[in-house]
Amino acid sequence: MKKHDKIFVAGYKGLVGSAITKELKEKGYNNLILKGHKELDLSDSFAVSEFFSINKPDYVILAAAKVGGIYANNTYPVEFFTENMKIQLNVIENSYKYNVKKLLFLGSSCIYPKNAPQPLKEEYLLSSKLEKTNEMYALAKIGGLKLCDAYNREYGTDFISVMPCNLYGFNDNYHEQNAHVLPMLLKRFHDAKVSNAESVTVWGSGKPLREFMFAGDLARAVVYLMENKTAKDIGEIINIGTGEEISISELADLIKEVVGYKGKIVFDKTKPDGTMRKVMDISKINSLGFKAKTSLKEGIKKVYEDFCNNLTH
């Protein structure tokens, strides 16, 4: 990628898209095409086709998606499937039609089967049944990565699909029902500190093990792959993560410490734990020369500072 190449970052206002945009700008890429959802609805095939015909991007990073937590996924499976399929079809098809040199598609660890062995290896894709609560979202994502692979095989394109672990960072979603566990706990501990609450309730036993990556590190991995690797180097998909696990209870302790909350943590064991262990096998991305560098504590500190700054403005 040359510094003046046209790079379209779809979803540039989101958690992932904004981190990638920041990384590209910091590395000196100066011809980014940035259009938010309001300016360009990527599910509108006519609008996307017109956008590509006018802008003709050299590179595309597809970080736009309809994203939500278990509740939203379980309640609106039709919308999670159709909206994501439309976005992917429109962006991937037009990337081929307008000779995009490389496209990077963002998937997620939910594409792996519910009972796949841990750590999750790329080869476990489609080896057994998916988790029911987000099955339609996962099927849309699998459709996207398979379409990229099919274009590569049939038309010789260079379309890469990456599967990150749980991410956290700036511009995250702190919605009470929809947020992912880390931003949700961050907000709960912050609110409890401000209101001097006696305790903070955490869902489940606290025992499940999870993996969290700072979105800035994911962005470094994405730009690294865009600059240095092809779909041939990568294969059908590649995991991106830290390879480090932490229990929800240890995560709660860490967030409590960073936020400076002095009360108690209570585990509500009547609430579900979800999968007991979810961690990516990251040997492939490591062997291609990439490693995450932000520790969880360091990342949470950065995000909490940003969270507080945005509260006062």
Ligand X SMILES: NC(=O)c1ccc[n+]([C@@H]2O[C@H](COP(=O)([O-])OP(=O)(O)OC[C@H]3O[C@@H](n4cnc5c(N)ncnc54)[C@H](OP(=O)(O)O)[C@@H]3O)[C@@H](O)[C@H]2O)c1
User: Shortest Cβ distance from residue 87 to ligand X (Å)?
Assistant: 5
We find the least distance from the C-beta atom of residue 8 to ligand X, in angstroms, to be 12
Strands 159-164 and 264-268, by their bridges, are: unpaired
Q: Give the CB-nearest residue to ligand X.
A: 14
C-beta of 195: minimal distance to ligand X in Å? 27
Q: Is 137 a catalytic residue?
A: yes
Closest CB to ligand X among residues 108, 152: 108
User: Which is catalytic among the residues 12, 137, 151, 261?
Assistant: 137
> Cα–Cα distance between 125 and 284 in angstroms, integer?
15
Residue closer to ligand X by CB (options 42, 258) is 42
Helix H, strand E, coil C: the string for the chain is CCCCCCEEEECCCCHHHHHHHHHHHHCCCCCEECCCCCCCCCCCHHHHHHHHHHHCCCEEEECCCCCCCHHHHHHCHHHHHHHHHHHHHHHHHHHHHCCCCEEEEECCHHHCCCCCCCCECHHHCCCCCCCHHHHHHHHHHHHHHHHHHHHHHHHCCCEEEEEECEEECCCCCCCCCCCCHHHHHHHHHHHHHHCCCCEEEEECCCCCEECEEEHHHHHHHHHHHHHHCCHHHHCCCEEECCCCCEEHHHHHHHHHHHHCCCCEEEEECCCCCCCCECCECCHHHHHCCCCCCCCHHHHHHHHHHHHHHHHHC
Q: State the minimum distance, in angstroms, from the CB of residue 167 to ligand X.
A: 4
Comparing CB distances to ligand X, the nearer of 29 and 105 is: 105
| Cis omega (within 30 of 0) for bond into 208 | no
Residue 239 or 261 having the CB closest to ligand X: 239
Sequence-separated (6 or more) residues with CB below 8 Å from residue 113: 124, 126, 127, 128, 129, 130
- Interacting residues with ligand X (CB under 6 A): 11, 13-17, 37, 41-43, 63-67, 87, 106, 108, 164, 166-167, 180
Nearer to ligand X, 59 or 261 (CB): 59
Query: Minimum Å distance from CB 128 to ligand X?
Result: 21
Closest distance between ligand X and the C-beta of residue 230, in Å?
21
Q: Which is nearer to ligand X, 192 or 245 (CB)?
A: 245
Query: Which residues belong to the active site?
Result: 137
